[in-house]
Amino acid sequence: MYCALVEPFPSPSYSLVEYSTDRLEQLESLVVSIIEEANKTTAQKVVGLKQCKFCDGLAHCDEVAHTIQEEALSVIQPDEEEYCNEVDINWSLEVALLAEKWAKAVKERARDYISDGNEVDGWKLRSSGNVKSISDANLCAERITDTNQLGWAEILSASSISWTKLLKVWMKKRNESGATLKRSDAVAELELILKDVLTEKPKAQSLVKSK
């Protein structure tokens, strides 16, 4: 049996692997044994951001709550003076990100609980109203100009143009009319045309896990 892993971005590629029947059977029994082990009520809970963030039990998990508590206490009363070494900060960071996920899961759990008709002392659900949005910019502009109240400049002053969407539509139109633009070509064209109105700010750096 052949399996292919197709990766469409950034440049399309695929990798192919061949499994023999024996190997597939081995893998199947390995997966089944792992699932059986995980489904046991005595299964060991292994805390880690990688797995816990996908776990439906996160808001209920005692092991996660203990880990967060332990880590918070170790910051308040570090065992070692050299608390801020690389190893500790790695784990602290992992637990901090896990605590964010845990807090979100607990809030969702409480929201579901209250919306099912239960009470949580001191808390209630409040609607923050509705958000209005324009679903069809063309039609909106047509309707507004039909009123003869606002012109194009005024309508545009109430809008924002998305660089990503503009780039997409630009590339589509140019290629439909015979050009063979890649994304980078379309970017270069638009950057030249819009050079006096295009601004660029670096995105804030975010923490990501390196492999």
Summarize as ranges the residues that interact with ligand SF4 (CB under 6 A).
Answer: 45-47, 51-52, 55, 57-58, 61, 63-64
Closer Cβ to ligand SF4, 58 or 95, answer by number: 58
Closer Cβ to ligand SF4, 104 or 182, answer by number: 104
For the CB of residue 51, give the shortest distance to ligand SF4 in the complex, in Å.
5
Position closest to ligand SF4 via CB: 55
Distance, CA of 52 to CA of 98 (rounded, Å): 8
Please give the biggest Cα pair distance in the chain: 75
Closer Cβ to ligand SF4, 47 or 187, answer by number: 47
Listed residue (115, 90, 101) closest to 56, CA to CA = 101
For the CB of residue 69, give the shortest distance to ligand SF4 in the complex, in Å.
14
What is the SS3 assignment for 42? coil
For the CB of residue 48, give the shortest distance to ligand SF4 in the complex, in Å.
7
> How far are the Cα atoms of 33, 42, 76, 132 from residue 145, in angstroms, in the given order?
66, 68, 62, 20
Closer Cβ to ligand SF4, 56 or 200, answer by number: 56
For the CB of residue 120, give the shortest distance to ligand SF4 in the complex, in Å.
22
Listed residue (136, 190, 198) closest to 168, CA to CA = 190
